[in-house]
């Protein structure tokens, strides 16, 4: 009986080793096939090398890319507006706004609009601009003020960022 148990134990060990070896080979074949198929379906994205380039090289490459917001496109980016709110006065707001002109942009008019937006935002309370509806009211009020100030020369006021602290 001892000899038959020894032979069974050896057979079990061999079959376990064969099973583990087979699973390992199939896993390697599956991983290799997935890698090859993935390379064929989704080829490398151009420009990935640029994303990991050092800062100096990255800046040199970006100089050739045209910016969307330029005076040639009729869009003027205003300087960031940072001021405290009317109530509560310890809350601050920072706005970054761009103006889309109908025709060539007028920089003196853009500066006047910048000052007008700053003066208006100082009169706004936090409760007036809370939530999506408050933001919409602020956008509409600024659009109306800009349209009056520019006499129709500015078609849109575009919010880039708005942060309240």
What confidence tens digit (pLDDT) does each residue in 104-159 have? 888 899 999 999 999 999 999 999 999 999 999 999 999 999 999 999 899 999 99
Tell whether the model's pLDDT for residue 11 goes beyond 80: yes
CA distances from 132 to 72, 97, 121 (A): 33, 18, 17
pLDDT of residue 147: 92
CA distances from 32 to 20, 35, 104 (A): 18, 5, 58
Domains along the chain?
Answer: 2-62 (no CATH), 71-164 (3.30.479.30)
pLDDT of residue 45: 64
Please state at what angle helix 107-121 crosses helix 131-150, rounded to 10 degrees.
140
Tell whether the model's pLDDT for residue 49 goes beyond 50: yes
Please indicate, yes or no, whether the overall pTM of this predicted structure exceeds 0.75. no
Q: What is the pLDDT of residues 53-110, one digit of tens each?
A: 455 544 444 455 455 556 667 889 999 999 999 998 899 999 999 999 998 888 899 9
- Among candidate residues 98, 112, 86, 111, the one with its CA nearest the CA of residue 164: 86
Q: 52: which DSSP letter? A: T
Q: Which range, of 15-24, 41-50, 69-78, 82-91, averages the lowest pLDDT?
A: 41-50
Distance CA(104)–CA(71), nearest Å, equals 7
């Amino acid at each position: 009986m001892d000899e038959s148990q020894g032979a069974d134990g050896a057979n079990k060990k061999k079959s376990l080793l064969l099973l583990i070896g087979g699973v390992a080979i199939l896993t390697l074949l599956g991983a290799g096939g997935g890698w090859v198929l993935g390379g064929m379906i989704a080829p490398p994205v151009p420009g990935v090398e640029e994303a990991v380039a050092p800062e100096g090289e990255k800046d040199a490459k970006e100089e050739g890319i045209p910016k969307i917001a330029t005076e040639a496109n009729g869009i003027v980016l205003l300087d960031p507006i940072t001021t405290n709110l009317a109530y509560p006065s310890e809350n601050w707001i920072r706005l970054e706004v761009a103006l889309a002109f109908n025709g060539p942009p007028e920089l003196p008019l853009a500066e006047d609009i910048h000052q007008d937006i700053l003066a208006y935002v100082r009169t706004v309370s936090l409760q007036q601009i809370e939530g999506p509806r408050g933001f919409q009211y602020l956008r509409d009020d600024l659009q109306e003020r800009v349209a009056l100030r520019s006499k129709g020369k500015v078609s849109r006021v575009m919010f880039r960022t708005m942060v309240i602290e």
